[in-house]
Structure 1
Amino acid sequence: MNMVSQDSARANRVLGALPMVDYLPMVSQLEAVQLQPGQILEEPGAPASHVHFPISCAITLVSATRDGEMSELALIGREGLVGLPALLGAPSSAVQAVVLRPGLAYRLPAAAFVQVLQRSAAMQALALRHVQSLMVQMAQGVVCSLHHSVLQRLSTWLLFHHTVTDSDQVRATHETIAHMLGVRRESITQAAGQLQSAGCISTSRGRIHIHDAQGLRAHVCECYALVEQDHRLLWQLPQQDEGSAPLGMGPWSHADVERAADHEEDSGDGPASGRYADIYDFAPVGLLSVDAQGRLMETNMAAAIQLGISRSQCHLYRFVDFLQPESRQAFEQFHREVLSGKCRRHCELGLLPGAHRPAAVVRLDATVDENGEENRMVMVDVTESHRQMAQLLHAHGRDGVASADVPSPDGMPWWGSGAGPAATAPARMSSF
């Protein structure tokens, strides 16, 4: 079972790329809906009540004349969202959003989406990336309609539909596609016949089956490569530089999650497999495990974000690599106690600052696996509680009490373990 369920809201790439701190507050307002072909989500001039995040459906944005003639402007699948007015602050849409391929989507009230935008820089960045992708589609579509043949345009449209929906089946009649591309139905029928003769597709009533996507590439114009490249780069941006992670996500992306999911599906191991995969994967606390030598074996999303690593490469690190030097010995002792089965305490340690996060204090609770070889830990950020304790001690004139036996020669706070004085509150939390 994939860690990101195909029916999960996080299967939408905008929602899937959101940091958990931004995603979790909106979960209660997300509503799963089954969209039907031809269903209109947005009407020109009318305010939209919801923003939709496609999962298995495809939405087309079309512009129509007074005579009923229409042309497709862009196609949206699980990589994006439908709700430009709410995103751009417009009272209504100038185009129509119509369901082309039926399927699952999650919707969020437009007013709630505006609130998410106001508090989440990550959502702003992801949504605006999607807007850029739509602009590329629209601009290239204008060029394509003026300079390329119907055969090239149909091949491009089919391939892009294949990319967006990840499906070999297109549910659309020749007449519908003709409306989308702004050409005569007879021209689509003729071009489809050529593609069918070449073995690329087959047609049945209201459906087109893509048998040879690579073969279709021989018939497309250069517009497809340009749109495809932009579509691909849209979700590679967070990984361009492993040393810098935009949106506070750490150097991981939706692709990392899918690769990790494929690995676990093959192996069938790990606490993230089985029916509780989503609970493990999207838990609001860090879940991770290390082997007897302290090497990371796996992490959930929250832990990967806290550590600033790609989940698919976690095995390259030891957990102590992320700790303040003065916390490493405390963890080693805690780790030995956990593996011995005699640990009856928690451990609070200092994390090193990352490229996009400050230093932090984390609390570890742990248990050993049935073989005594794996330390499975829950990691909770308790930085704020330490900060508040330090402020309280300062207010009572007790700055040195909580960390009297925890020296900090470099001015950076770090922590011991257990429930003793060293774990309660570093006095110099202002250095965060």
Structure 2
Amino acid sequence: MNTAFNKPARVALVVEDDYVLASDLASKLSEAGMKIIGPAPNVQQALNYIDDGSQIDVAVLDINLSGTMVFPVADELSKRNIPFFFATGYSRDVVPPRFADRIFVEKPLDKSAIFEALSNCRGPAEKASGDHKNLILSALSSRESDVIQPHLKSIRLVQGEILERQFGEITAVSFIEAGIVSLIALSLDGAQVEAGLIGREGVTGTGLLGGDWRTPYAMMVQIEGTAQRIDVDSFLRLTQKAPQLRSLSSSFSRSLGIQISYTALANGRYSIEQRLARWLLMLNDRADGQVLNLTHQYMSFMLGVRRSGVTGALHVLEGEKLIRSVRGKVIVVDRDGLVLKAHGSYGIPEAEYERLMGFSLRGAENISMNSANHIPAFQSRKL
């Protein structure tokens, strides 16, 4: 029995579709004094092994199982706090951000590499000890959280504050904890409209990982709140040491680009009432409650329409008992009704965020999933 690592796991689940490789891996694990479950050649068989109640102390996952990715198995193992690592010929680029910090053992499998992976393999990425409200920071493993934490500074976001100026150099990155930050598109003649927004699900400075230190937008605090800020130099250095931070930040940048494109679609093809319904839903996704602190003037600025148009649209939504509008506040009364009112302008960017990031932008709140295609229920409704 090999004793290269302390306290070896007793039972290992092997998920591998190649019989020869699976047999070789099982042999190596047996040499480490482990009992083998499997090998499971496909996702469904692996899930069956997990569901049958057997004790599993660690799992070894091939990524591609006859054309199907193993990530549903990894998700199920994470839910059950069962540690695992990947044994694969693929690079880290193919895995979702939530698994970016997992151990990779490259094929062909070397015995010493397997033993080292077993020694270092731990449970699923632990939440940061600081219990961050920002979803990206809270998704980091404890190791990566410990790396970034000393560089973070808590700040207050004041309504109307400019975080980034159009065509200016980005000097700091902010992980939003509470409140809303708007990306404002400005034309040469001074016209402006909100192109996108960021809340606790994201981070500013989205072009940095692509090598762009300037922003084409103005970034303004729309709803006051808090954030964790880090200077650009420290952020870029840390992304070289923390693969999960880099992967999550890059995936968020992609999701924000999708959101911006669908804002353009909404502005060009949907009525004021439908756009307002979509916008209120987006704010509600990022808020802790149903009460949104918004003035008519501010909403007209963000939607790029006259104040009278916003007032009329609010009356329509209130008349349909979807919201209540009081001085300086909008209260969401019927969220499902707002989704219907948005008439398809809401849903795709939200589903894409979840696909890219591996968790809902509404945080801990559960969103029912369509079992057929893993798209949130609001997206599966044909409106």
C-alpha displacement at 1:198, in angstroms? 1.5
1:99 — aligned with what? Answer: 221
Q: Does 1:80 align with 2:202?
A: yes
DSSP 3-state at the match of 1:107: strand
1:200 — aligned with what? Answer: 322
C-alpha displacement at 1:65, in angstroms? 2.4
Asked if structure 2 preserves the Cα contact closer than 8 Å seen for 1:87 and 1:114, the reply is: yes
Q: State the distance in 1 between where 2:178 and 2:330 align.
A: 17
Q: State the distance in 2 between where 1:179 and 1:27 align.
A: 36
Report the AA paired with residue 198 of structure 1. E
Report the AA paired with residue 244 of structure 2. A
Q: Does 1:52 align with 2:165?
A: no
Of the three residues 29, 33, 37, the one matched with 2:155 is 33
TM value normalised by structure 2: 0.58
DSSP 3-state at the match of 2:203: coil
In structure 1, list runs of 5 or more residues that go unmatched.
239-253, 260-432
Report the AA paired with residue 53 of structure 1. F
Q: State the distance in 1 between where 2:346 and 2:314 align.
A: 18
DSSP 3-state at the match of 1:224: coil
Runs of 4+ residues over 6 Å off in structure 1: none
DSSP 3-state at the match of 2:345: helix
- 1:140–1:44 CA distance, 2 compared to 1 (3 A): same
Of the three residues 351, 354, 377, the one matched with 1:232 is 354
2:339 — aligned with what? Answer: 217
Q: Does 1:182 align with 2:304?
A: yes
Asked if structure 1 preserves the Cα contact closer than 8 Å seen for 2:206 and 2:249, the reply is: no
2:233 — aligned with what? Answer: 111
1:124 — aligned with what? Answer: 246
Report the AA paired with residue 232 of structure 1. E
C-alpha displacement at 1:8, in angstroms? 4.5
1:18 — aligned with what? Answer: 140
In structure 2, list runs of 5 or more residues that go unmatched.
1-125, 367-383
Asked if structure 2 preserves the Cα contact closer than 8 Å seen for 1:154 and 1:191, the reply is: yes
Asked if structure 2 preserves the Cα contact closer than 8 Å seen for 1:86 and 1:113, the reply is: no
Q: State the distance in 2 between where 1:237 and 1:102 align.
A: 24
Report the AA paired with residue 71 of structure 1. V
Q: What percentage of aligned pairs have identical amino acids?
A: 27
Asked if structure 1 preserves the Cα contact closer than 8 Å seen for 2:184 and 2:194, the reply is: yes
Q: State the distance in 1 between where 2:328 and 2:359 align.
A: 37
2:272 — aligned with what? Answer: 150
C-alpha displacement at 1:55, in angstroms? 0.8
Count of residues in correspondence between the two structures? 239
1:399-419 deviation per Cα after TM superposition (whole angstroms, max 9, x unaligned): xxxxxxxxxxxxxxxxxxxxx
Q: State the distance in 2 between where 1:237 and 1:75 align.
A: 18
C-alpha displacement at 1:237, in angstroms? 6.5
DSSP 3-state at the match of 1:132: helix
